[in-house]
Amino acid sequence: MPTLTTLYFDQLEYSDDAAFQFAAGIPGFEEHTAFLFIQQPHTNPLVFMQSLQDPAVCFIGLPAKVVDSDYHLELSPEEAIALGMPAGETSRIEANLLSLVLLTFAENTEPVANLMSPIVLNLQTHRGIQAIQLGSSYSLRHPLVLEQAAACS
Amino acid sequence: MLVMRRRAGESLLLGNEIEIEILEVGPTRVKLGIVAPPHLAIVRKEVLLTRAENLTASQNQDPRVIAWLSRKLAPRHTGTVNSLTPLTNPPKNFLDSF
């Protein structure tokens, strides 16, 4: 079983079929064509998107539904093909897809989530893309609301 | 900013080598045809913005910030996503000290 040095988790053993293939990388990281998506109990619901090409490249993301429970993903036919989805079935296969939004941290402000450019994983084919939501109103820097509302009694 | 009105079928030139034709005008979108030399990269602006945001997002984070965020988010925890990488060996937990 291959071992990877990761940015946040030291050495990590993984099985080859756990990796997700990004044929075109993502903007700015075109040469990074395979990532592991790591979750662990202490950091749930965070998901760590660790590059297999470079241990120093690890994004931190959240399932889009955690940030916006109504999050709606649109995919172009080209994106559906890149994810290995059968043609013409884009509406029915959402069950196999997971959208993650990447987080950006800045000093003294709450983290922001990139809802405009979700990482979309096909859990069946283990292919992934960054699917920029053209023409949507989703923000590139959506502030995370971290304070929980008090429970109504 | 230069502003110009064009109809479908009309075009404009940027310098001598770049031609942008308005192919179709819809209620909310226009379809453009672009003729340009192959060495010129043409991307939607959203791709450039995403690239910049990705570069920022890839910066190494302080484990304390991650631990703080995990605690804040824990109430929304909706279960692990089964198909993501299972940790076959428990990693040295960098959060243990917090």
The fraction of chain A above a pLDDT of 90, given in percent, is 56
Tell me the mean pLDDT in the region A64-89. 87
Q: Please, what's the b/e burial string for A43-64 (b: 16 or more CB within 10 A of its CB; e: otherwise)?
A: bbbbbbbbbbeeeebbbbbbbb
Cross-chain Cβ contact A27/B51 below 8 Å: yes
Cross-chain Cβ contact B78/A66 below 8 Å: yes
Cross-chain Cβ contact A43/B44 below 8 Å: no
Q: How far apart are CA B52 and CA B64, in angstroms?
A: 25
Tell me the mean pLDDT in the region A17-29. 94
CB of B41 less than 8 A from some CB of A: no
CB of B83 less than 8 A from some CB of A: yes
Residue-wise pLDDT for B76-89, tens only, equals: 655 555 546 554 44
Tell me the mean pLDDT in the region A45-66. 93
| All residues at 6 or more sequence positions from A66 whose CB lies less than 8 Å from its CB, including other chains | A45, B73, B76, B78
The fraction of chain B above a pLDDT of 90, given in percent, is 55
Name the residue among B51, B66, B88 with its Cβ closest to that of A14. B88
Prediction ipTM score:
0.87
Query: Do the Cβ atoms of A96 and A123 come closer than 8 Å?
Result: yes
Using 50, 70 and 90 to split pLDDT, how confident is the model at B90? very low
Residue-wise pLDDT for B37-48, tens only, equals: 999 989 899 999
Residue A38 neighbours by CB distance under 10 Å: 24
Domains and CATH numbers, chain A: 3-143 (2.30.290.10)
**pLDDT at residue A150, as a whole number:** 46
Higher pLDDT, A39 or A10: A39
Using 50, 70 and 90 to split pLDDT, how confident is the model at A30? very high
Checking if the pLDDT of B95 tops 60, the result is: no
Q: How far apart are CA A1 and CA A56, in angstroms?
A: 21
Residue-wise pLDDT for A79-129, tens only, equals: 999 999 876 665 555 678 999 999 998 777 789 999 999 999 999 999 999
Q: Which residue of B has its CA nearest to A136?
A: B46
- Report helix, strand and coil shares of chain A as percent, to nearest 5: 15, 30, 55
Question: What is the DSSP track for chain B?
Answer: -------TT-EEEETTTEEEEEEEE-SS-EEEEEE--TTS----HHHHHHHHHHHHHTS---HHHHHHHHHHHGGG-----TTSB--SSPPP-TTTT-
Cross-chain Cβ contact A146/B73 below 8 Å: yes
